[in-house]
A and B are shown apart, each in its own frame.
Chain A
Amino acid sequence: MLFAQILVDGVLLGGLYGLMALGMALVWGVLNIVNLAHGAFIMLGGYVVYFLFVAGLDPFAALPIAMLALFALGYVIQRGLLNLIVRSALLNTLLFTFGLNVVLTYLAQLLFSADFRTINPSYAGANVTLAGVTVPLAWLAAFLVAVLLAGLLQLLLDRSRLGRAIRATAQNLDAARLYGVDPRQIYAVTFGIGAALAGTAGGLYGLVAQITPYIGATLTAKSFVIAIIGGLENPLLVILGGIVIGLAEALASLYLGPTYSDVISFGLLVLILVLRPARSLKLA
């Protein structure tokens, strides 16, 4: 039963990991930017939901607000700053987003303090037991939200005019411009969507783990690995990539001990960088 429990935990948490990686994969695929501040966006989303929860709002009702807030932040950052360097060398955007991560982490520490925060609604401990396996309802809800958002993103990309323009820009920038697409607008909207997904993931993360200003770096690395596993073009595959990492972590903590779960994604990160450096940087 313990084994089944571990698997269920791994899948549920993995879905949330997938949601975390979704925005990073989208931005990477379309803008060719590996956003090192992605984890900081997740962190900020967590704080938005935390403070709305403290103010009396249900965390799930707060998610759309975090989503909108982070969309606006992402849009403005891309439109105002990143658009200036988006097509320059990869190193420039890496440096920029690295710096952004430092600034956002510092601001969070200044404004929110370094205290551990948990989003703890009355139903936080609720769970159902099925065939001896305990399913925490908050985790299940987080998983379902992740799958739902990935599905919606897939629909947006596949079926809408905006989605077509986003894919066209990613596949052939010059041709997209020749056919009337304004890449600055598409980049800003895409970066906004990426940040919005990160923010939502952050709110859900606050339900299953603790939030501090420093969670960003680990989550960026995790998202990076998942984006490589899941690819950059198919949102539901990214969720699947998240589930792979969630399961790997769960199994590592079962067989190697709980302290090893974080080692997994960093281990995979190192392995990927060593074995397939070209693929990992030119995935788009």
Chain B
Amino acid sequence: MSAPLLVLHGLVAGYGDVPVLHGVDLTVESGELVALVGSNGAGKTTLLRAVSRLLKSGGEIRFGGTDIAAREPEAVFGLGLVQVPEGRQLFPRMSVEENLLMGAYRRRDRAAIGASLAQSFDLFPVLAARRRQMAGSLSGGEQQMCAIARALMAAPRLLMIDEMSLGLAPIIVDRLLDVLVKIRGQGVTILLVEQDVFAALSVADRGYVLEHGRIVRAASAAELKSDPALQRAYLGAEDAP
């Protein structure tokens, strides 16, 4: 069996002297779609920022067998570890097309970049119609599509998405989840961070539950979905399904 694509072992991180992550263990196998769920302030964004190396951390981070804990964000990106950050973080005064091209910043083959651009527009036709529009003036849903498309332009090995559903109408969320399933079918491994726990678990293979900077549950998505404790915690009611 091949080594997991991403391995976190004893990951600790925080801001100043306030610790947020207290030794997180997490693995993502090649080809998996893994959900990371947890309530506000659990440390999910902190975890993704540490993995992308925007935030200093302790413990082990291995990607594709390489220890990346001492690398810079731009170097980690070069290995195929690509993040769609919380709040989309588009380049607001650049057009949709330019944002997508920034996703392909490290790629040099113009023809292949052109093909990826065409694929992105196939996947999200609304972006094709708005390719010259400034990204800052897109609607929330369009911005999320643009952010996902930008990440796909990087030809990622592991795609990490933070709060994909935040502020989006359920119908858009469903469409984006379909897109994730499709992308995964094309061989991209995905780590999905969500507060919308049951949306994430509906497409994931496995899930982790993070609370107060610690992994408190790790199980198959099916198992987590039917877990009464989780239903109570995240649907907040006895009348949970």
Contact = CB atoms under 8 A, between A and B. Distances in A.
Contacts of B91: 167-168, 171-172, 175-176
A181 interface: yes
Interface string A183-211: 10000000000000000000000000000
B89 interface: yes
B73 A177 contact: yes
A167 B93 contact: yes
B217 interface: no
B213 interface: no
A179 B154 contact: yes
Interface in B60-117: 72-74, 77-78, 82-83, 85, 89-94, 98, 101-103, 105-106
- For A165, A172, A176, A181, which residue has the most chain B Cβ atoms within 10 angstroms? A172
A178 B52 contact: yes
Contacts of B77: 177-180
A155 to B, nearest CB: 14
B54 interface: yes
Nearest to A169: B91
A180 B82 CA distance: 9
- For B73, B78, B101, which residue has the most chain A Cβ atoms within 10 angstroms? B73
B239 to A, nearest CB: 41
Interface band, chain B: 20 to 34
Interface in B189-219: none
Contacts of B44: none
A161 B54 CA distance: 23
A87 interface: no
B123 to A, nearest CB: 18
Nearest to B48: A178
Given A174-B54, A174-B85, A179 B92 contact: no
Contacts of A168: 91, 94, 102, 105
Given A167-B94, A171-B93, A174-B85, A179 B102 contact: yes
Contacts of A176: 91, 102
Nearest to B154: A179
Contacts of A167: 91, 93-94
- For A164, A165, A176, A179, which residue has the most chain B Cβ atoms within 10 angstroms? A179
A182 B92 CA distance: 20
B157 interface: no
Interface in B114-169: 150, 154
Given A180-B154, A233-B93, 4 more contacts: A164-B101, A171-B93, A179-B102, A180-B105
Interface of B: 52, 54, 72-74, 77-78, 82-83, 85, 89-94, 98, 101-103, 105-106, 150, 154
- What are the 3 A-B residue pairs with the smallest beta carbon separation, nearest first? A177-B73, A175-B89, A180-B106
